[in-house]
Amino acid sequence: MEPIFDLAIHLPRKGSRDLLRSLHRHLRDAIIDGRLQSGVRLPPTRELAAALGISRNTAVAAYDLLISESYIETRQGAGSYVAIPRSRTLTAAARRSEPEHRPDARLNAYWRDQRAPDDGASSGGLRYDFQLGTPDMALIPFSIWQRLSARALRALSRQPLVEPEAHGRPELRAAIAQHVSFTRAVACRAGDVTVTSGAQQAFDLLARTLVAPGGTVVALEDPGYPPMRAAFAAAGARLALIPVDEEGLVVSRLPKETRVVCVTPSHQFPLGMAMSLRRRDELLAFANARKAVVIEDDYDAEFRFGGRALDALQTLDSAGSVIYVGTFSKSLFPALRLGYIVAPPWAHGALAAARRIATGDCAVLAQDTLAAFIAGGHLARHVRKVRRVYAARRQVMEAKFADDLGEWLEPIHGHAGLHLAAFVRGRLNADSIARRARQAGIGIYPLSRFYAGGVTRQGLVFGYGNISGHDIADGLEQLARLLRRGK
Amino acid sequence: MEPIFDLAIHLPRKGSRDLLRSLHRHLRDAIIDGRLQSGVRLPPTRELAAALGISRNTAVAAYDLLISESYIETRQGAGSYVAIPRSRTLTAAARRSEPEHRPDARLNAYWRDQRAPDDGASSGGLRYDFQLGTPDMALIPFSIWQRLSARALRALSRQPLVEPEAHGRPELRAAIAQHVSFTRAVACRAGDVTVTSGAQQAFDLLARTLVAPGGTVVALEDPGYPPMRAAFAAAGARLALIPVDEEGLVVSRLPKETRVVCVTPSHQFPLGMAMSLRRRDELLAFANARKAVVIEDDYDAEFRFGGRALDALQTLDSAGSVIYVGTFSKSLFPALRLGYIVAPPWAHGALAAARRIATGDCAVLAQDTLAAFIAGGHLARHVRKVRRVYAARRQVMEAKFADDLGEWLEPIHGHAGLHLAAFVRGRLNADSIARRARQAGIGIYPLSRFYAGGVTRQGLVFGYGNISGHDIADGLEQLARLLRRGK
């Protein structure tokens, strides 16, 4: 038979837990990138397993996942083939021989045309990936976490019963209340805190409890954060997309029938500026006058650089209009999936009831470990440490922008966070810059993917949470070279 | 001042993680039980802390939780008091001085009158608690779990990035597919599996993707499982409550416009009988004829006793009508919060999209640990071991029913599970038996709490997942004595 692949597949050592995941991703990325062309026949699993020195089960499972994701398809008795390019109208001929993706009438109309979210190709092929939304895994104090986790598990094992809690584990609620009071000046007690499965669940619970399908106008920043938009859209909100300027959300553009406003006041996502004090006052005045609710998504405010961070918007609220959402995805790691809501009393019952129906309590072991991690001062120490690292990376980035990229890119000033956004000067197209950069192994992210309405500014977003200072410098130099070359 | 309490408060040793939780529960149970009367003034936190030898922070946090749950209220400058009996129209005077619970117009109408779910009093005061839904924590192999968790965390720490997965971690999906194929004969591959935050999230995602608000008729067993009902009600379904008889769901009573049918065919919840083969065939014929969807909740089928368990209903389905929901809450522990859906291809995209919006991926560390636990054969070994323990407890219970309780209670036969239900003979009222039993320190659960429609049969449910064989025998003897005495 033909050579297995003209692919270099580097797998972790045999027996490692990562084997299946790595193989799956290698094959998938190769198909996305075109290294494995559509119509190419893949080797039978037995041969693949032998060639790579892995178990047949692993090979079967990898192919199976790719089939379910429509990257490959099986032809009766004739093997597995790379599927025709994903045109959004095809799905693999799976076990039940459905050759085309037909929106199924058994599904609610909203979900009928949804496809599994495209997680996108991994960084596998990128030399310099300025990825967003992810902190540096190498900085995380896993050994402390491990020790506290083991202790929490022992404590759990000694209890005859672990009862579900409406708002999450009491110790964690108390720890979060202290943490957020101290670090963000958020006024709250343990009783105001609801633990959630990541900030995403916070948005989802808020969308479900605040939105009457078809009737509730929810205002969102544009450009903004797509997963939050998705939560409100799924709940049936009427979305009002509001522009932002150098002071943040343009409050004067809020429709008067707005019932919910979602903002990222510490560090606008994705542009990065802080919401001015003037706009904060305007927004709260609007909310109080119209009995609207403001949702403050404070997603990475701990990572301030250069001076004191602005207090949370919630601190200015004396009328119970602001609901604050926080997360541990950036200060710890996203895979932890713990976030929280700090809400005024009128929302407590509804949030607990909705949470119970959505998932019930979050995983208890993780909650207890996090509570101990916070209460033992480890979170504060960790944030202080990584803040310096990220601040240094920010400086490298800003210096490179000033020295090498000023001709094409105009960075947007911010106080905090793990990414920097820059407008593109002149008539350049950000999406095409990003595409060319990707081909050169540089991962940068066009602003267009964050607009839900029309793309009013061309820009690019550069994360620095998960790339070293050295790679930041090199990567941006290469970008400058690329920009200089290709007009 | 007056003595602190006429209460015995037994707290875990100082510094233990359980301190806050224990104190909170002690006080709360005392209020629920009436040991702390409404209007009684609680000691200031400083004095309580000194008296109990705990930190003031812990005392403050405990009071704070009780305030948020409306058990106590603070009066300006005059201390903390046990609140007036919870009449569902009051909430504590909290920081924003809202003396009464007013449904808030900012909330979606469905949630406006919801209160935080009443977790109910803990077993604290019960000598013999025949609790439902919980396995025996003492049997769980925590040390193996700990070892695998540490290994998974090390592996995670070595990855530069952990990417979110639309359906959950591939290794876990593969492990679940093998597990459920082998143990329940469910036909599936890794690609059909979606990992969820407990079975509750499975119900919620299915409710959201299958129900068009106000339009979709969803049939549920009555008596049934309230949290599943709640998920469909919250999604706006029109609920059709269908009776059950000795063969399970009475399929002939399904309204013809039914689009979704939820069943517990291995072990009807709560009555316990298995769905007959005849009814299974009828149900699938109904579903196929009308393009309806059947959701199979297979919540504790691994714990079979006396012979071979029936295969899952899903195995009879060749038309993609059955969606299977499983959980690890009983075979491992509820605090883990991991469950799964096995769905036909037409539902995959919608489920992944809904899951992404609801929470994103589940906690990765727990998924990886569970995958290793299953792949290493530990789950199978564990289930084999505990099955024998639970089967023995079942036998003790059935013997006691035959010997001592036959005059009042008629047990319902079943093949599997962690609880036994019994009808009450004659004109006795099950709720009042349960109340008297509770006062005598025996926790048994009236069938009435599982009916959404009219209570058509008087009965009681006895769990044996978390009570020893010895206590089962003693507790049931005491129950018999109580029944003999008080008519």
Q: Looking at the structure, do residues B329 and B193 belong to the same domain, yes or no?
A: yes
Q: Which of A349-353, B61-65, B108-112 has the highest mean pLDDT?
A: A349-353
The dihedral built from the CA positions of residue B29, B34, B39 and B43, taken in this order, carries a sign that is negative
Q: From CA B119, how far away is CA B77, in angstroms rounded?
A: 31
Closest approach of A73 to chain B, Cα-based (Å): 13
Which of A355, A376, A397 is a domain's end point? A376
- Say if the Cβ atoms of B171 and A17 lie within 8 Å: yes
| DSSP letter assigned to residue B405 | I
* Chain A residues touching residue B160 (CB < 8 angstroms): 123, 137-138, 466
Summarize the confidence of residues B444-456 as an average pLDDT. Answer: 94
Integer Cα distance of A17 and B364 in angstroms? 13
Tell me the sheet residues that pair with A90.
Answer: A100
The pLDDT-based confidence of B86 (bands split at 50, 70, 90) is very low
pLDDT interval class at B88 (50, 70, 90): very low
Element (H, E) at A326: strand A322-327
Residues A269 and A341 in one domain: yes
Residue A413's domain is classified under what CATH number?
3.90.1150.10
| Overall average pLDDT of the B193-215 stretch | 95
User: Which tops the pLDDT comparison, B70 or B186?
Assistant: B186
A6 within some domain: yes
User: Do the Cβ atoms of A162 and B198 come within 8 Å?
Assistant: no
Is the confidence at residue B486, as pLDDT, over 70? yes
Residues of chain A with pLDDT > 70, as a percent, come to: 87
Q: How far apart are CA A325 and CA B325, in angstroms?
A: 31
**Weakest-pLDDT range from A237-251, A266-280, A292-306:** A292-306
Residue type, B374: I
Amino acid identity at A233: A
Query: Residue B89 has what pLDDT?
Result: 26
Same domain as B410, residue B337: no
Report ipTM for this prediction.
Answer: 0.81
Which of B90, B359, B418, B467 has the most A C-beta neighbours within 10 Å, making it the best mutation to test the interface with A?
B359
Among B353, B376, B399, which residue terminates a domain?
B376
Based on the domain organization, do B335 and B433 belong to the same domain? no
Instruction: Say whether both B196 and B315 belong to one domain.
Output: yes
> Any CB–CB contact under 8 A between B197 and chain A?
yes
Judge: A357–B191 Cβ closer than 8 Å, yes or no: no
Whose tokens are 């922070």? That residue is: B57
Does residue B481 sit within a domain? yes
Q: What average pLDDT score do residues A252-265 get?
A: 97
Per CB-CB distance under 8 Å, the chain A contacts of B64 are: 174, 189-191
Q: Are residues B371 and B393 in the same domain?
A: no
Task: Determine the residue of chain A that is closest to B196 in CA distance.
Answer: A359
Asked which of A228-232, A301-305, B194-198 is least confident by mean pLDDT, the reply is: A301-305
Asked whether residue B16 is domain-assigned, the answer is: yes
Q: What is the mean pLDDT of chain B?
A: 87
Q: Do B148 and B280 belong to one domain? A: yes
**Residue B37 predicted with pLDDT over 90:** no
Q: Is the pLDDT of residue B133 over 60?
A: yes
Of the given ranges (B57-66, B321-330, B344-353), which has the lowest mean pLDDT?
B57-66
Contacts of A347 in chain B (CB under 8 A): 104, 106-107
CATH code at position B28: 1.10.10.10
Q: In which band, very low, low, confident or very high, does the pLDDT at B120 lie, cut at 50, 70 and 90?
A: very low
DSSP H or E run through B196: strand B193-196
Chain B nearest CA to A189, separation (Å): 7
Q: Percentage of residues in chain B with pLDDT exceeding 70?
A: 87
CATH number reported for the structural domain that contains residue A206 in this entry: 3.40.640.10
Please give the backbone phi and psi of residue A35, each rounded to the nearest 5 degrees, phi first: -65, -35
Candidates B118, B161, B258, partner chain A, best to mutate (most A CBs within 10 A) = B161
Residue B11 reports pLDDT greater than 80: no
Q: How far apart are CA B295 and CA B141, in angstroms?
A: 31
pLDDT of A87 reads 35
Which residue would you say has higher pLDDT here, A294 or A487? A294
pTM of the entire predicted model = 0.82
Residue A368 inside a domain? The answer is yes
B360 and B211: one domain? Answer: yes
With CB atoms and an 8 Å threshold, state whether A191 touches B349.
no
**Window 230-249 of A, Cβ < 8 Å to B:** 230-231, 234, 236
pLDDT at A174 over 90: yes
Average pLDDT, integer, range A384-397: 94
Please name the residues in contact with B402: beta carbons below 8 A apart, sequence gap of 6 or more: none
Contact criterion met (CB below 8 Å) for A128 and A478: yes
Contacts of A332 (CB under 8 A, 6+ apart): A135, A140, A338, A370, A373, A379, A382
CB of A356 within 8 Å of a chain B CB? The answer is yes
Q: Do B28 and B175 have their domain in common?
A: no
Number of independent structural domains in chain B: 3
DSSP letter assigned to residue B328: S
| pLDDT score, position A125 | 73
Domain final position from A359, A376, A393: A376
CA–CA dist A432, A441 (Å, integer): 14
One domain, residues A91 and A170:
no
| Residue A90 phi, psi dihedral angles, 5° rounding | -120, 145
Q: Does residue B121 fall inside a structural domain?
A: no
Q: What is the mean pLDDT of residues B328-334?
A: 87
Chain B residue numbers with beta carbons less than 8 Å from the beta carbon of A336 are 363-365
**Domain enclosing residue B18, as ranges:** 1-98
Q: Closest Cα to residue A234, out of B105, B214, B209?
A: B209
Question: What pLDDT is stored for residue A117 in this prediction?
Answer: 63
- Statement: residue A84 has pLDDT above 80: no
The DSSP call for residue B332 is: S
Mean pLDDT (whole number) for B479-486: 93
User: Is A333 found in the same domain as A215?
Assistant: yes
Most confident of A277-281, A326-330, B36-40, B46-50: A277-281
Residue A13 has pLDDT above 80, yes or no: no
B66 in Cβ contact with B27 (< 8 Å): yes
**B63 pLDDT more than 80:** yes
Q: What is the pLDDT of residue B101?
A: 53
Q: Is A181 within 8 Å of chain B by CB?
A: no
- The average pLDDT across A146-166 equals 89
B3 pLDDT higher than 60: no
- Asked whether residue B420 carries a pLDDT value surpassing 80, the answer given is yes
Quote the CA–CA distance of B239 and B444 in Å, as a whole number: 28
A153 with A70, same domain: the answer is no
Confidence class of residue A94 from pLDDT cuts 50, 70 and 90? very low
Summarised one tens digit per residue, pLDDT across range B274-319 is 999 999 999 999 999 999 999 999 998 888 877 666 789 999 998 9
What six digits make up the tokens of B381? 């070994």
Confidence (pLDDT) at B40: 78
Q: Confidence band (pLDDT; 50, 70, 90) for B422?
A: very high
Give contacts of A 394-433 with B, CB under 8 A.
Answer: none
Q: Is A201 on the interface with B (CB under 8 A)?
A: yes
| CB < 8 Å to A201, chain B | 358-360
Q: Where are the beta strands (DSSP E) in B406-456?
A: 409-411, 419-424, 442-443, 445-446
- What confidence score (pLDDT) does residue B202 get? 98
Q: Does A111 fall in a domain?
A: no
Residue B425 is assigned to a structural domain of this protein: yes
Residue B33 in any domain: the answer is yes
Contacts of B104 in chain A (CB under 8 A): 346-347
Q: What pLDDT score was predicted for residue A237?
A: 95
Rounded to the nearest integer, the mean pLDDT of chain A is 87
The reported pLDDT for the residue numbered A158 is 87
Judged on CB neighbours under 10 Å (0-12, 13-18, 19+), B186 is buried
